[in-house]
Structures are given as C-alpha cells and as structure tokens.
Homo-oligomer: A and B are copies of this chain.
Amino acid sequence: MIAVDWGTSSFRAYRLAPDGAIVDKRSAQLGILAVPEGKFAEALESQVSDWLDAGAAPVLMSGMIGSRQGWKEAPYAKCPAGAKDIAACLVDVRWGLSRSAWIVPGLSCRDTQGVPDVMRGEETQILGAIDEVTERSAWVCLPGTHSKWARVEGERITHFATYMTGEAFAVLKAHSILGRMMSDADVDPVAFQSGVLRARESGGLLHHLFGVRTRGLVGDLSNDDSAAYLSGLLIGHELAAVPRLSGTVYLLGALPLARLYSEALKSYGVDTEVLDADAAVRGLFKLAQMLPRN
C-alpha cells in the first residue's frame, strides 16, 4: 500500500509491505498550500507515480489533504471513534483512467457545553500509537501550534480538546510588547519551570502574561530567559486546564517539545511516556486493514 501524510506545509509518502514494514519513503515541501489550483492528483503523481504504476494499493492519505482547502473535504468522524469508525468514513478520490485513493476524515467532538472541537491528521497518528498506550484510560497529548489532548480508552478516542498554546506563544513573541525583551537564547530549564509554576498560581493567564514584562522591567527575568518563561507559562496554563491529569500521559510529538511537556508534567506529579512521533504511517496501515478486500 501507499501511506501519505499530507499536511498544510509538508508531504510524506511511504510504500509499505503487506506486513506494514516501510519499503521506501519520500518527502517534499509540497504541503496543500503549495499545490496550485487544486492540482492534487498531479502533485501526488509527481511524487509516487512509479509506485502507482507498479500497482501499489490501496493509497491512504491523512491530514489537511482532507480539509476544505485540500483535495476533497472528508467530513469529520465523530467521537467516540476507533479505527473501524474512522475507516467507515474514508472518502475516495479518483483520477486518470483507473487511479484512486482514500482520504482519512478528521475527528470532531463537542464538549459538555456543546462547543465543537476538531482534529485532522492527529487521529491517524493516535491510531498508529494507540497500541503503546497500556493504561485502560489515558491522555495522549500531541504538543504543538494547536496542542491536542485526546482521551484514549481501549482502542477508541472518546473525546479531545485543543489548546492554542504554540500559536499563542508565537504571536505573543513576534508581535506583542513581550517579544521586545526576548532574545533567541536556548530554552533555559529553570526559567521554563518557573513559568510552569507561575501558571498554577492565582491571577489568570492575562495577568501572568503582563508579569513576563514586569519581571523583565525590574530585573527578575533576563532577556535570555524571557521566552523560556513565557513558554513555561503557556504550557503550564494548558496543563492546568486539562481535567483528570494523573497516571501516565503519553506524548506524541517531536522530541524537543515533548521533553518540555515532560518536564512541565513532572511538576504535576504526572509520569510521561514519549511515543514514536512517526505514528501516522502506522495509523494509515491500520486503517488500510479495515478496507474491504477486493
């Protein structure tokens, strides 16, 4: 089969053996935003036409390729959902004389107040990593621009919540008064942890943010430590909002950020386990097994 992890800014394709082993892989700066005028079939062919010609099938694609801005919108599957439920919502695309592929839907849920939440791509990563989650009920956290916290019970994702942590950090650093006092120094772990702890105090995030400035003004915080403190503050506020934070949290994401989350969670007395970040390909393989055999 061919597994494609196709996001906003990147394209990664894998050719898999029948047992799921990766036989070959290719990647390109060909995220959906880089594909002109809806020419997604052409973009895919430009990367893997030889695999397709050789009869590799099926083709499964996950990520923003299934969004309104992608190849074809794949309506969100609804929580709770496991691999079978998500596979039941696969959307197919066809091109050329006899080519076809499946697009994985994203996942949606509503919180107790009815406010919706969505993910697209992360559900496939979680499916790929879910076998490593040994607790019966646990959080899987995917840190990032829009951090996802998914509650996994058995083989299913029961609900999840998104936190705009990474994006808030980026816009505050680049565009607010806080960024003016920040150098691009490496993240200092002490300053980071001090932000995490501050988040557990009273005052609220909007007040704590101003404290980044005042602590700098009075010399409590150096320009080199300021970004690390802000990062800890925001991640700390994310963690403070997650209900039922106990047991082991499974982190799914690139190492530098996963390590920061791991440090932050320590202050909550919570253990963490970092899962293999390349889980999308395994999730796509798992979903392919659910397709009816021809």
* A binding-site residues for B, Cβ under 8 Å: 108, 111, 113, 115-118, 146-147, 161-165, 167-168, 171-172, 174-177, 198, 201-207, 209-211, 214-215, 217-218, 220, 234, 237-238, 240-241, 243
Contact = CB atoms under 8 A, between A and B. Distances in A.
Given A161-B203, A164-B206, A204-B238, 17 more contacts: A113-B201, A115-B220, A116-B217, A117-B210, A117-B211, A162-B214, A163-B207, A165-B206, A168-B209, A202-B241, A203-B241, A204-B241, A205-B205, A206-B237, A206-B238, A207-B238, A207-B241
Contact of A243 (B171, B202, B210, B218): B202
Nearest to A239: B204
A174 B176 contact: no
Which of A174, A204, A214 has the largest number of chain B CB atoms within 10 A?
Answer: A204
Contacts of A111: 203
A263 B53 CA distance: 64
A146 B212 CA distance: 13
Total copies of the chain: 2
Nearest to A146: B210
A171 B161 contact: no
Nearest 4 CB-CB pairs, A to B?
A204-B241, A163-B206, A162-B210, A164-B209
A211 to B, nearest CB: 5
A139 B220 CA distance: 28
A163 B202 CA distance: 13
Which of A174, A198, A210, A243 has the largest number of chain B CB atoms within 10 A?
Answer: A210
Contacts of A171: 171-172, 175-176
A145 to B, nearest CB: 9
A237 B240 CA distance: 15
Contact of A175 (B165, B175, B243): B175
Contacts of A220: 115-116
Contacts of A177: 167
A87 to B, nearest CB: 23
Contacts of A241: 202-207
Contacts of A243: 202
A9 to B, nearest CB: 14
Contact of A115 (B108, B116, B211): B211
Given A167-B176, A174-B175, A117 B214 contact: yes
A215 B175 contact: no
Contact of A207 (B118, B161, B174, B207): B161
